[in-house]
Structure 1
Amino acid sequence: MPNQYKPTPPLDEIAPHILCLWKACQNDRQIVRTLWEKHIDTERYGIGLTKFREIRESMGLQCTRQQGHTIESIHEAMIDLRQMYPKAGIREVISLLFHEKNISISRTVVSSYFAIFKPELVHECKAQCLKRRRFWAAGVNDLFAVNQHDKWLRFGLGLHTGIEPFSGRIMWICVWHSNRNPQLILSYYLDTIEELGHMLLITQSDLGTENFGIANAQTLLCFETVLDHSVNEGLYDVGNTLQNMVFCWVFIPWLQRELDAYRDRVNNTAKRCDRNKILPHGVPSLIYDSPQDFNALDFKVSHLVTLDVARHLMCSRLL
């Protein structure tokens, strides 16, 4: 790690980058290296490992060893998490504890917890019934894969998601009264590329009419420029309009917050290493934001001067 005799950058300038990299589970050396390479003016400022650790601790960010959790200390948090995620494995629990409970913990402690309190899940994990499929993508922003999830439609709730499969990053995962409205689905896509400031090369979806808006908008723009959990079926009568409206009014905001938290957690958690995978290994957000660090190409189209035109034109056609 390079030594430095220059003043430390202002905290308000580097704190957002530190938090982003910390959320992506980068260690101290990786964070300092990234700050040097991408986020500070090295002609004026510098930061060393010792100084960074002081800053990190002042921000309340403690590493696994500093937190020093044991089976007993995580028991209450585990009971809370198991109610929402009863089938979560060791890797997912470690991620859940970190992102939802601010608990950084070693795999050894979680493994010991499962061996004591959930031996049946350990047995299920060793069944190894996974069937492999092959997928190929040229690079980041080569394509978005979009699709709907219909398990909740019987409750009047429609889920829709878009994924950048090269990095594994979830671009949107949204719940609403329906996932069949082309104008609504189009808004998910346009809001996403507006937030990103660029668009992808192509989109990929099934032949459902709900995705036509995305396909048409993508064509126009290019031309111009697990959830396993469901609601108790007996909770309400889906055929009762009033009950259905009240149910959606209460649960849609809550579900969307849970989905946003899920997307944030997945996007900032490295996938399990797989020797059969030729796509980059790492944290999806880091792969997506810095594909050059993973020897990958980026196919984003940055010129979006026609986005407002596309939004107006496509939405008017879908009315």
Structure 2
Amino acid sequence: MNRNQYKPNPPIDSISEPIHRYWKMRKDDKAILRALKDHHIDSSKYGLGLTKFREIRESLGLFRTRKQEHSLDTIKPAMIRLRTQYPKAGARDLVGLLFHEEKMGVSRALVVKYFALYEPELVRERRKNRLRRKHLWAAGVNDIWAVDQHDKWKYKFGLALHSYTDPFVGVMHWMKIWWTNSSPRLILSYHLERVEEIGGKQCVHFVDPGTENYRLANGHTLLRHLHDPSLEGTLQHRWMVKKKNVMPEIGWSQLRHRFTPGFEDILDVGVNNGWYNPDILLEALVFHYIFIPWLQQELDAYRDRINNTAKRADRNKLLPHGVPNDIYKHPSDYGVLDFKVIC
């Protein structure tokens, strides 16, 4: 018998990064192994079986929920920390927060049991809301990017938010916080940074009418004309009026429910103690110097968690189901087209 009939395993250093990336998407072992073989392992040189993959995964410190064997006592300190910043998060959100923020694999049943024991009054507060369904049409990945701003903190704390979303897959390209979101140059810089980061751009913009978006719309149209002269004389953006910019509005609604309540309580402490007074320039500058970098870090973690969490199953949804980041990076695996314009 030829003892060398099996191909050697790939070097761990060459696959550890994608393993961590797919682990963050909460894929099971078979799905991770399949993605590694499709995109990261040279099958002509290396082979990798499921048993060996599990050994490699555990050697990287990545253990499944059952093996972590968490109980109410072991998750309680982490739950207390998370409830300070996310007091309104439900069971599904808490499972994701424990996984992404605390590196803990915890079952939904255990979180529900924790709620019933320690937070019964919050469970009773939850009510069903009537949803009004709207339609948004997109041809594929990078067909449309929708941009919007959020001013709920602008007049209370002097903080302005801005986001960019691919509505086809639900990927949030950025979630920015600054003392303004009304500067045309600033908004355009966000877009150009993202284009440089991914090496391309979308086909069409969805933007709300406003002077802060004019430079963004014109800059995007100019770049599209430079890369495709046949588009000369056409608009490559669409003004969305009367709350028709659906996906960003959904994103802001989820942010207000999932992220905002706990952080507003923290910011209120600063306002009530006189750390922030918009009429005193020095106090406002110090407040922004302290809180903007910290909040940007928290928003980046929130965006990363949203992009690496599969959306709730929806039988009315015609778009592909899966983890947004995975669909965005490997659209062909889901049978969809990528319209990215290479820059």
TM-score (norm 2): 0.85
Please tell me whether residue 262 in structure 1 is matched to residue 263 in structure 2: no
In 2, distance between residues paired with 1:294 and 1:122?
37
Q: Tell me the secondary structure at the aligned position of residue 201 of structure 2.
A: coil
Counterpart in 1 of 2:10? 9
Q: Aligned pair in 2 of structure 1 residues 276, 124: CA closer, same or farther (>3 Å)?
A: farther
Q: Tell me the secondary structure at the aligned position of residue 210 of structure 1.
A: helix
TM-score (norm 1): 0.91
Structure 2 unmatched ranges of 5 or more = 228-254
Q: Aligned pair in 2 of structure 1 residues 129, 114: CA closer, same or farther (>3 Å)?
A: farther
Counterpart in 2 of 1:202? 204
RMSD (Å) for aligned C-alpha atoms: 1.4
| 1:133 positional shift | 2.4
Counterpart in 2 of 1:49? 50
In 2, distance between residues paired with 1:5 and 1:112?
47
Partner amino acid, structure 2, of 1:294 = Y
Please tell me whether residue 212 in structure 1 is matched to residue 252 in structure 2: no
In 2, distance between residues paired with 1:216 and 1:93?
41
Kindly tell me the number of residue pairs found equivalent between the two proteins: 300
Q: Tell me the secondary structure at the aligned position of residue 13 of structure 2.
A: helix
Counterpart in 2 of 1:297? 337
After TM superposition, what 4+ stretches of structure 1 lie above 6 angstroms from structure 2? none
Please tell me whether residue 82 in structure 1 is matched to residue 83 in structure 2: yes
Q: Tell me the secondary structure at the aligned position of residue 122 of structure 2.
A: helix
Matches within 5 A, 1:74-223: 74-154=75-155, 155-223=157-225
| 1:123 positional shift | 3.3
| 1:217 positional shift | 1.3
Counterpart in 2 of 1:276? 316
Q: Aligned pair in 2 of structure 1 residues 128, 115: CA closer, same or farther (>3 Å)?
A: farther
In 2, distance between residues paired with 1:271 and 1:213?
33
| 1:126 positional shift | 4.7
Counterpart in 1 of 2:272? 234
Partner amino acid, structure 2, of 1:220 = L
| 1:124 positional shift | 3.9
| 1:110 positional shift | 1.1
Q: Tell me the secondary structure at the aligned position of residue 200 of structure 2.
A: coil
Counterpart in 2 of 1:311? none
| 1:128 positional shift | 3.6
Partner amino acid, structure 1, of 2:334 = F
Comparing 128-137 with 201-210, greater Cα deviation is found at: 128-137
Comparing 141-150 with 226-235, greater Cα deviation is found at: 226-235
Q: C-alpha offsets along residues 249-279 of structure 1, whole Å, 9 cap, x if unaligned?
A: 0001001100110110000011111112111
Partner amino acid, structure 2, of 1:237 = N
In 2, distance between residues paired with 1:281 and 1:124?
30
In 2, distance between residues paired with 1:271 and 1:144?
19
In 2, distance between residues paired with 1:124 and 1:217?
47
| 1:105 positional shift | 1.1
Partner amino acid, structure 2, of 1:188 = Y
In 2, distance between residues paired with 1:272 and 1:211?
32
In 2, distance between residues paired with 1:115 and 1:136?
41
Q: Aligned pair in 2 of structure 1 residues 136, 116: CA closer, same or farther (>3 Å)?
A: farther
